[in-house]
Chain A
């Protein structure tokens, strides 16, 4: 059996204003698998994703690479779990693409010549190397999405977590994104309500509703059943 890379037990989370967002979440993710998290708007998908690298900390147990998330290993885990936000304008905050893609590696303390290599490799992986010196606000939404993915790929993550990767994309850019996601071989967790994207990129899927995981299964079979619920 493959190794469990993420293990969540009895996770509960309420926002500071008292709104309960996650109830009793139990989830295991194995190394190398692609997991789709589906559910309607407000089901708690994004809130769950923010727990994978310690941005939010609910009550319950979260083991990542067999270790509990603590202040000590937080930096290391954030380097290993790359989180891509839904809105690329929130993900791209530096004046140029190269500075944005180099932001993570620089924070990890990588030496400058390796950062350069890492930035080039990450941009090549998403076919955006020509945009190296450009400013993010001059790019199209599709290009921004790709570079948002490159900003975490440059940190060599073992797990790629993506929130609604296909939102606001036209069909052509969406198709290109699916090809790109299938090319990336690390563990992937994708939260979306784009069921077709899940069908083409994920091997397993879980369904969330009102902050709970209400079901899950292997991709094509479970998707057919869950389609009506999200």
Chain B
């Protein structure tokens, strides 16, 4: 099977892709920090952050459609977690929608926070999508390790990256086998079969884990995965990180002057 959606754009030869993975992690996390620490009504600031992200997307040469698709996948989760915000607040209320004589009223403060969370959420997702799409996954893991992220987390991510496709393939094969033998089955029986499939998939993954562990032991595994961290901060890395930081301070400053 040929799965490549994680590393689909990580090998484009663009300015952003060429940067050191550590520079990108630090820069994008600083950017996210600035975004989420903005006031919920800092619309002028949000517009400037959006402009900055558009410039970064152009520099990365990653198709905009890819980034928007990723945003759409995460958007329902942001909506789900923030949907109740407009209803739980005290104070002045505003009319959100009017249907005939009925009107839906929400708290003004809550509505403001809801809009803020939504914008901040989307901008942060764009940052993360840019980071992960412009860096090969293996480099991202090595950079996280170099930045002292706990090894257990990078190990779990590494195995997830390697085996998620394999488990997906096994699930797909089982589904095909089930479909080819389930002519005329009731929906209830199909549901039961799916429940069994999930169980079998779990056992197979568990057994795969055991074999992988044996394969690791037979090549001298002693509990920690050793990686080669041959990173190299270049002038462009320093320039990118410094410029981005200056721009972020600038946006904050401009928003404080013109955004209020």
Q: Interface on A for B, CB 8 Å cutoff?
A: 50, 53, 55, 75, 78-79, 82-83, 85, 87, 89-96, 99, 102-104, 106-108, 112, 115, 135-138, 151-152, 155
Nearest-Cβ distance from residue A58 to partner chain B, whole angstroms: 15
Closest Cβ neighbor of A89 among chain B residues: B166
B residues in contact with A83, CB < 8 Å: 215, 218
Q: State whether B162 touches A137 (Cβ < 8 A).
A: yes
Q: State whether B7 touches A155 (Cβ < 8 A).
A: no
16 CB contacts below 8 A, A to B, read: A50-B214, A55-B218, A82-B218, A89-B166, A92-B162, A93-B163, A93-B212, A95-B141, A99-B227, A99-B228, A104-B219, A107-B222, A107-B226, A137-B166, A151-B219, A152-B219
Q: State whether A107 touches B220 (Cβ < 8 A).
A: yes
Q: Does B103 contact A (CB under 8 A)?
A: no
Q: A90-B208, A104-B219, A138-B4 are in contact. Are A55 and B214 (CB under 8 A)?
A: yes
Q: A78-B218, A137-B162 are in contact. Are A90 and B211 (CB under 8 A)?
A: yes
Bound Cα distance A155, B1 (Å): 29
Most chain B C-beta atoms within 10 Å of own C-beta, residue among A85, A95, A107: A95
Q: State whether A85 touches B215 (Cβ < 8 A).
A: yes
Q: Does B137 contact A (CB under 8 A)?
A: yes
Q: How many residues of B contact A (CB 8 A)?
A: 33
B residues in contact with A135, CB < 8 Å: 7, 137-138, 162
Q: State whether B216 touches A93 (Cβ < 8 A).
A: yes
Query: Which residues 63-122 of B have a CB within 8 angstroms of A?
Result: none
Closest Cβ neighbor of B209 among chain A residues: A90
Number of residue pairs spanning A and B whose beta carbons lie under 8 angstroms apart:
86
Bits for B155-170, please: 1 = Cβ < 8 Å to A, else 0.
Answer: 0001101110110000
B residues in contact with A87, CB < 8 Å: 211
Q: State whether B216 touches A79 (Cβ < 8 A).
A: no
Q: Interface on B for A, CB 8 Å cutoff?
A: 1-4, 7, 136-138, 141, 158-159, 161-163, 165-166, 208, 211-212, 214-222, 225-228, 230
Q: State whether A93 touches B159 (Cβ < 8 A).
A: yes
Q: State whether A112 touches B228 (Cβ < 8 A).
A: yes
Bound Cα distance A102, B3 (Å): 24
Bound Cα distance A85, B214 (Å): 9
Nearest-Cβ distance from residue A147 to partner chain B, whole angstroms: 13
A residues in contact with B226, CB < 8 Å: 106-107
B residues in contact with A99, CB < 8 Å: 138, 227-228
Q: A96-B138, A137-B166, A151-B219 are in contact. Are A106 and B211 (CB under 8 A)?
A: no
Bound Cα distance A93, B1 (Å): 16
Bound Cα distance A106, B216 (Å): 12
A residues in contact with B7, CB < 8 Å: 135
Q: State whether B215 touches A91 (Cβ < 8 A).
A: yes
Q: A89-B166, A94-B158, A136-B162 are in contact. Are A103 and B211 (CB under 8 A)?
A: no
Question: Of the candidates A50, A78, A94, which one forms a contact with B162 in the assembled complex, judged by CB atoms under 8 Å apart?
Answer: A94
Nearest-Cβ distance from residue A64 to partner chain B, whole angstroms: 13
Closest Cβ neighbor of B164 among chain A residues: A137
Bound Cα distance A50, B232 (Å): 41
Closest Cβ neighbor of A104 among chain B residues: B219
Question: Of the candidates A85, A104, A138, which one forms a contact with B211 in the assembled complex, judged by CB atoms under 8 Å apart?
Answer: A85
